[in-house]
Amino acid sequence: MAAGLKQPLSAAVIALNFIFAAAANAQNAAAPSAMETPADASRKSYQNPASAGPFELLALRLPELFQRFGPPVAVYAARGEYDWQDDVVFEYPGVNFYLYKDQVWQVSLTKAFGLSCGDPEKAVTLVFKNAVLNGKDIFTVTFNEFPWPAELRINIIKGKVDALYLYKVNY
Q: Do both 129 and 68 map to the same domain?
A: no
**Confidence at residue 42, expressed as pLDDT on a 0 to 100 scale:** 44
Q: Is the pLDDT of residue 96 over 80?
A: yes
Asked whether residue 92 falls in the same domain as residue 118, the answer is no
Do 76 and 132 fall into the same domain? no
Q: 15 or 87: which carries more pLDDT confidence?
A: 87
Q: Which residue has the higher pLDDT, 12 or 91?
A: 91
Specify the amino acid at residue 40: D
- pLDDT tens, residue by residue, 68-85: 999 999 999 998 788 777
Query: Per-residue pLDDT averaged across 117-123, rounded?
Result: 95
Q: Percent of the chain having pLDDT more than 90?
A: 54
Question: Is the model more confident about 142 or about 12?
Answer: 142
Which range marks the domain in which residue 2 is found? 1-109
**Does residue 39 have a pLDDT over 90?**
no
- Count helices and strands in the chain by DSSP H and E runs: 5, 10
Q: CA–CA separation, 150 vs 92, rounded Å? A: 21
Provide the domain count of the chain: 2
Cβ(156)–Cβ(140) below 8 Å? no
pLDDT greater than 70 at residue 92: yes
Q: What element of type H or E holds 111?
A: strand 111-112
Say if residue 64 is in the same domain as residue 5. yes
Can you give the pLDDT at residue 98?
Answer: 95
- pLDDT above 90 (res 11): no
DSSP tag of 152: E
**Could you tell me the CA-to-CA distances from 90 to 1, 30, 43, 74 in Å, in that order?**
26, 20, 24, 6
Q: Which pLDDT score, from 0 to 100, does residue 18 have?
A: 52
Q: Torsions phi, psi of 109, nearest 5?
A: -125, 150
Query: Does residue 132 sit in the same domain as residue 81?
Result: no
Q: Say whether both 171 and 91 belong to one domain.
A: no
Residues 8 and 74 in one domain: yes
The residue count of the chain comes to 171
For 123-163, write each residue's pLDDT tens digit.
999 999 999 999 889 999 999 887 788 999 999 999 999 99
Q: Are residues 96 and 158 in the same domain?
A: no
The answer to whether residues 140 and 87 belong to one domain is: no
pLDDT of residue 135: 83
Amino acid 19: pLDDT: 53
Contacts within 8 Å (CB) and 24+ apart, 72-79: 72/19, 72/97, 75/16, 75/19, 77/8, 77/12
Looking at the fold, whether 13 and 52 belong to one and the same domain comes out as yes
Please say which residue of 64, 86, 109 terminates a domain: 109
Domain C-terminal end among 70, 91, 109:
109
Last residue of a domain, one of 80, 109, 138: 109
Domain match, 100 and 116 both: no
Query: What single-letter amino acid sits at 143?
Result: F
Query: What is the distance between the alpha carbons of residues 21 and 63, in angstroms, rounded to a whole number?
Result: 10
Whether residue 17 sits in one domain with residue 98: yes
Q: Which of 154, 167, 21 is nearest to 103 (CA)?
A: 167
What local confidence, expressed as pLDDT, does residue 65 receive? 95
